[in-house]
Amino acid sequence: MTSYDAPINANDASFERVVIESQLPVVTVFWSAQSVPRQQLNTVLARVAERYAGEVLVVKLDVADASQARASYGVETLPQFLFFRQGKLIARAQGVPTPKMLEPWIEYLLERGPKPVTKKPGESSASGHHGQAVTDADFEQVVLRAAVPVLVDFWAEWCAPCRALAPVVEKLADEFRGRALVAKLDVDANQITAQRYGVQSIPTLIFFRNGEEVDRVVGVLPPYVLKEKLEALL
């Protein structure tokens, strides 16, 4: 196996071969010259590639040459880092990091450390809002077999609208406690369920009753709309 000690440039044509089919875990960054100074990003990536040579692959994708890959993975804010293991997306982060800031993510990618928490100063993480976290493994038991109506918030840590919606979801979880279940599902970590329900944009909120989907909304809606939809299911 070739040991790369420098970043690799890829595009839509090479994405499948370089990223998805890679035998090594891959740190992929989507970027553009308008979003970040080229030299600054190159310096960070070069140091990371050199340090983790033989353990991970560092891949750069200029969005001008990777529009299909960008759309497939919902990359909006640039630069954005996507971390792949055995062809599967397991995490993402955004912004221009230092090598030290990237290290915890790479250690997580290599299964040598916990998943870092993405949180801006003074801001609550979307993962911190109330509501029961559900996964691919327990979705059927928790959601589909629930004795009460269920609202599932399909979200991701990198999603700014999800963070904007988090306080609304938190309030609904408190207000409907005992009458309805408010749950949250991280689409990056639970892609099977997200694909099963055709979730393409986030936040997507799906309402369930007796194990069946009865309604859904996409995006950030006024709190009263979500409240009325839940009330209608009681």
What are the tens digits of pLDDT across the range 136-181?
A: 888 998 899 888 899 999 999 889 899 889 889 988 988 888 789 9
Q: Is the dihedral of CA 167, 170, 174, 180 positive or negative?
A: positive
Which amino acid belongs to residue 170? E
Mean pLDDT across the stretch 83-111?
87
What pLDDT, in 10s, does the model give residues 53-69?
A: 999 999 999 999 999 99
Q: Which of 159, 168, 173, 206 is catalytic?
A: 159
The conformational region for residue 87 under phi > 0 = left, psi -120 to 50 = alpha, else beta, is left
> 126-233 — its CATH code?
3.40.30.10
Q: Comparing C-alpha atoms, which of 110, 118, 111 is closest to residue 92? A: 118
User: Whole-model pTM?
Assistant: 0.53
pLDDT at 129 over 50: no
* Fold entry, domain 8-109: Glutaredoxin (3.40.30)
Catalytic residue among 44, 63, 152, 162: 162
Residue intervals in the chain for CATH 3.40.30.10: 8-109, 126-233
Beta strands in the chain (DSSP E): 8-10, 26-31, 57-62, 80-85, 88-94, 132-133, 150-155, 181-186, 204-209, 212-218
Is 177 annotated as catalytic? no
* Residue 205 a catalytic site member: no
Give pLDDT tens digits for 81-94.
Answer: 999 999 999 888 87
Give, for 163, the enclosing helix (H) or strand (E).
Answer: helix 160-175
